[in-house]
Amino acid sequence: MSGQDGGCDMEGGPDVSWTAEVTTSGVSAAAVPSGSSGSSSSLAGQAHEVLAVVLQIRAGRLSVLLWERARAPFAGFWALPGGRLGWQEDLDPSIRRQLAQKVDVRDLTHLEQLETRGEPERHPGGRVLATAYLGLVPADLDPVIPADTSWHPATQLPQMAFDHAGIVDSGRRRLRAKLSYTNVGFALAPPEFTMSELSGYYRAALGHDVAATNLRRVLLRRGQIEDTGRCVPSGRSGGRPAALFRFRQRELEVTDAFAVLRPPHRG
Amino acid sequence: MSGQDGGCDMEGGPDVSWTAEVTTSGVSAAAVPSGSSGSSSSLAGQAHEVLAVVLQIRAGRLSVLLWERARAPFAGFWALPGGRLGWQEDLDPSIRRQLAQKVDVRDLTHLEQLETRGEPERHPGGRVLATAYLGLVPADLDPVIPADTSWHPATQLPQMAFDHAGIVDSGRRRLRAKLSYTNVGFALAPPEFTMSELSGYYRAALGHDVAATNLRRVLLRRGQIEDTGRCVPSGRSGGRPAALFRFRQRELEVTDAFAVLRPPHRG
DNA sequence: GCAAAAGTGTTTCAACTACACCCATGT
DNA sequence: ACATGGGTGTAGTTGAAACACTTTTGC
């Protein structure tokens, strides 16, 4: 979205007006949970889970971490890592805790909230709200993951449980948008990298070619990356040794509110 | 966001690893609510409310709809409209229903999800999760609102209840970003408008000057607006009559994934 | 005619893409 | 030497901001 950015959850919406019926059930008390218990339905809360779309560039492809469900519903289908929100737990800590089961949390270089889904029918077993997060793992790591868990190319997902396919898509779009106007690249790349490596990560995440030459200049101009002064020895087939770069910041920054990185004209 | 876009919920995050302790409580069953009830805490769900940041340009200022709380907690403070999520209710319909108490839902030209907050302490009365929405009302309407409710300039909020001030800020930032790379303008403007009126709405929402001359060309080039062919009679002080424009689409579209509308260099 | 407001033409500028060319290394 | 891959210089393109100038109205 963003640019970019961000998601685009537009809703056409019904034309019906509930104005008449609703005003009966205590207007001002609506936002007070422990106060007047006006409506009968608000006694019990709703089950709430947190999920994560964990993305990493693996072998030049944007990949998602999924686990295979052993039991019904959706036995044999693949699902996003996550689980129930604890009773007095905040959302961010919760998804970090849940992810600890699948991947070492220290491997996550970035984590941000994506969206919350509340369709009553999204979970066959009963009403469960889900807040989804986007998590990123740098390309040089290979986290230890459980046996029921594996990485899948984000562009060709296996049979997905619940509404998780749509959530993965939200994550991909969010990442793509933010690569254009923020420095999220730092979360995909290792601490140091050559420009051709970096352009590979961008290509995988954006889905189109990214010229290393221009990427270098764009990111340098924006102050996102800097030259370490060191080089990487050239390969067995020769070639000039590549300079090593690093991101200047390892936290999310908006570097170009009105952004760039458009697909090439020809090619 | 492109654009802007979008929100930027970055988290630095703790270095602690919970890996050891968590694996005890049944790994694969985490996302199955009605299946094996492994953990003791997941029996009761959490209270969940929906809130809306309803924005409108009123008298040249970006304004937000708030209601004044009558009772504790935060008696006399101002809060966002909203209320408890119904037992079998989806999030979007719920916020529409809740808003029906404050403003006719038919007046809303745009509604999108903003973010979900889950800090355990965000509500003094007990644990309440909140999913916030951004709603827009076109500048020509003056919806009928209840006595305890009124519009406030979004830049100078009154004493706000709970974490609602932060949520209003998220809404403002989201709107600003999306004005740059989508056609959300349609949701702020009346069905037909002159370019100087429209630039006034953009100025109010963006917080900086927007030249009607250039806005016209940008939005025409992008195909967002079109000339109706009709004019508005000039005022008593004369002047050339202004042409009437309309947005071509009245649903959200991304018109420029890598967007524009930067603040003026000088001025 | 003159002031006021809207609209047009033109210049300038920033930021990027494309591409030709130069540089450093291995064999 | 020369193939290979990285880096630099530079031209071309796009989209928008700035601003002078023209058009159309009321008085």
Chain B CB contacts of A47 under 8 Å are 33, 42, 45
Across A137-235, the runs of DSSP E, i.e. the strands, are 149-153, 225-232
Nucleotides of strand C within 7 Å of the protein's CB atoms: 3-9, 15-20, 23-27
Between chain A and chain B, the number of residue pairs with CB atoms below 8 A apart is: 343
**CA–CA separation, A69 vs A76, rounded Å?**
5
Q: Residue A86: closest CA among chain B residues belongs to which residue?
A: B41
User: Residue A33 has what pLDDT?
Assistant: 36
**Mean pLDDT lowest for which of B10-19, B123-132, B202-211?**
B10-19
Q: Which residue has the higher pLDDT, A204 or A12?
A: A204
Chain A CB contacts of B131 under 8 Å are 116, 118
Q: Give the pLDDT band of residue B251 (cuts 50, 70, 90).
A: very high
The 8 Å CB, 24+ separation contacts for B239-247 are B242/B194, B242/B195, B242/B196, B243/B194, B243/B195, B244/B192, B244/B193, B244/B194, B245/B192, B245/B193, B245/B194, B245/B195, B245/B198, B245/B216, B246/B191, B246/B192, B246/B193, B247/B183, B247/B185, B247/B186, B247/B189
Q: Residue A184: closest CA among chain B residues belongs to which residue?
A: B10
Model confidence pLDDT, tens digit, residues A209-227: 899 999 999 999 999 999 9
CB A116 under 7 Å to nucleic chain C: no
Q: Which two tokens stand for residue B211?
A: 């030249």
User: Residue A237 has what pLDDT?
Assistant: 84
Model confidence pLDDT, tens digit, residues B73-117: 999 999 999 999 998 999 999 999 999 988 888 899 999 999 999
Instruction: Classify residue B77 as exposed, middle or buried by CB count within 10 Å of its CB (0-12, 13-18, 19+).
Output: middle
**Mean pLDDT lowest for which of A101-110, B213-222, B257-266?**
B257-266
Contact (CB<8Å) A115/B110: no
User: Residue A258 has what pLDDT?
Assistant: 63
Q: What is the mean pLDDT of residues A177-198?
A: 95
Model confidence pLDDT, tens digit, residues A115-131: 999 999 999 989 999 99
Contact (CB<8Å) B6/A7: yes
Chain A CB contacts of B264 under 8 Å are none
- What's the CA–C1' distance between B217 and C2, in Å? 30
Residue B200 in this model has a pLDDT that exceeds 50: yes
Q: Of chain B residues 185-224, which have a beta carbon within 7 Å of strand C?
A: 194-196, 212-213, 216
Model confidence pLDDT, tens digit, residues A56-97: 999 999 999 999 999 989 999 999 999 999 989 999 999 999
**Mean pLDDT lowest for which of A161-175, B53-67, B110-124, B231-245?**
B231-245
Contact (CB<8Å) A11/B118: no
pLDDT averaged over chain B? 83
Q: Give the pLDDT band of residue B258 (cuts 50, 70, 90).
A: low
User: Residue B37 has what pLDDT?
Assistant: 34
- What's the CA–C1' distance between B266 and C13, in Å? 13
